Chains A and B, each alone.
Chain A
């Protein structure tokens, strides 16, 4: 059996997810035995256009990005979105809720009208995405699991419960008890509560848990008397495209 041809494409992103794959030092050489990498700009000079599985990193934020992603979707049998930018728009989408004219003015000053751009979108906003590896950065062990599933014809699965479940299982102290607004209750698990386990608040990089109970989240905020304007900012940090918080409702 010939090895499946795999391609990696990066869009608007920090390339951390590309690096994350290169950080699979112990497995990298084994992976190369199983797949034929035909396109991976950051690491190799070859640029093959004949691939079956396309991994996409980054959000789509220029007309050129949209053109490219359609071309890739037409070629790929399986398309997998890697990391928060591709999965949910991620940090890049923060500006979507801002006054676009002001955004441009902040960075270009008087030249603001010279540079048009579109809102930062997740890959699934534009084309069909078959599977996801969430997170910022994506977790390379989870990537390995998804890749193994694809190579053995299984369907990769990601958890549908919240980060709090994993955090409690680790017996971490709850950051809310320290007055810190943590996005754990609303965020899809699978990272092993990576940030709260290191004493840092969860910023929701894996996207919202399905069927989010928004009122319960609101109750938690109220119980701990946290500033609503700041909570809102934290909700927006990675999930701008999925959270629509009315000013009145939260203030």
Chain B
């Protein structure tokens, strides 16, 4: 194959607007990129002047799908800047909310966005007819993870109980018992069934491999989602405060989302990157599933991010059960959000793992508690260059494997979907017009 041109405008079943562009001329790959064409958002500018109590309300709107993650990262940045402490109960409940949101997002991606490709279907809608039990199971799993977010965060999309210093309303012990029962008797068996399903479909993922730098949070005590240091498979541990040395954002002409690079030309974040950094902290069932699916680090096939999401879904289910037991043993204490002792000038960085990867917010406040400067670095920005680099190697790999144009187009779309990109999140900065 000497000449090839692939155009996928507005890739479907991803969050936000992106185009795949591949051009091969006289056997030479001249272009292979994911153009990101989402309109501008300007969040950092819009947050200026707002009070510390408003920061999480606004930054949550960067993304409705990652709202829990943005709120969590936002309140952590505010707490760091203003010196607001949080109680152990707040941390436990926040983790539970993060796990609920992780389950919700992963299940949505695995079953509704990625799975149709594995079944050769254009969407989940025809699957409701051909595989009704699977679709119903996925809906039940998603419902339950949403219920967890509702009960802890007030609601699933843009939760309304998360504030700096704690929660404005707390779940009851009865509600926690309800979650525990559902996780044990519904989520665990459904997750096991999902494992069997993915195992049976494993050969549908292209066997493409490309090693890159994998970056995620890491801590000694657990598989890190809520807290930890930055960990890189190339460079080891880096403190969160030095995040700019890792992200090094830069602008490319084909994307309204800024790109990032660290030790190589690009790096990856997300479920696969977390697994590659945290594998030894997996809970027993999650580890069993990871091993049975061949997910021992370092996993270099980007398509397996979807499989890593299932491993994580099982891990956070097990972890949530542990948290609930601890909360119930200690008893829910009627704690009010902790207020800052005194408003002061300060800068703070918040960092958590959201479903799509590591997320940073950094705020600077004046002495009236108003935002002077904000900076948010989003997982999809960090993955953008890695996706381009994958495509650069994937195209020749597909040609060597004798794939036709239709197969290649599908494989390229599947690659973009595998990263579960959140393009709305990624373009809170730039506005570039593209010719379609």
Contacts and interface: CB of A to CB of B under 8 A. Distances in A.
B57 interface: yes
A42 interface: yes
B62 A43 contact: no
Interface string A30-47: 001000010001111111
B369 to A, nearest CB: 9
Contacts of A11: 39
Nearest to A201: B53
B348 interface: no
Interface in A92-130: 92, 94-95, 98, 102-104, 106-108, 111, 114-117
A41 B38 CA distance: 13
Most buried by A among B40, B62, B122, B154: B40
Interface string A215-249: 00000000000000010011001000000000000
A102 B45 contact: yes
A203 B113 CA distance: 32
B381 to A, nearest CB: 13
Contact of A23 (B39, B41, B157, B428): B157
Interface residues of B, number: 61
B67 A14 contact: yes
Interface string B40-73: 1110111011110010011001111101000000
A138 B143 CA distance: 18
Interface in A47-69: 47, 61-65
A25 B143 contact: yes
Q: Is the interface of A mostly helix, strand, loop or mixed?
A: helix
Interface stretch (A71-79, A143-151, A160-168, A191-199): A191-199
Given A23-B146, A107-B45, A115-B432, A15 B16 contact: yes
A198 B160 contact: yes
B396 interface: no
B64 A61 contact: no
A59 B113 CA distance: 25
A91 B428 CA distance: 12
B40 to A, nearest CB: 5
Interface of A: 11-20, 22-23, 25-26, 28-29, 32, 37, 41-47, 61-65, 90-92, 94-95, 98, 102-104, 106-108, 111, 114-117, 136-137, 194-195, 198-200, 203, 230, 233-234, 237
List 6 tightest A-B contacts by C-beta distance, closest first: A16-B64, A199-B168, A44-B123, A45-B122, A198-B154, A106-B45
30 contacts: A13-B424, A14-B63, A14-B65, A15-B63, A16-B67, A17-B64, A22-B142, A29-B135, A42-B15, A43-B13, A43-B123, A44-B124, A45-B13, A45-B116, A45-B122, A46-B122, A47-B10, A61-B40, A90-B61, A98-B46, A106-B48, A107-B430, A108-B430, A136-B61, A137-B157, A198-B154, A199-B161, A200-B154, A203-B57, A237-B50
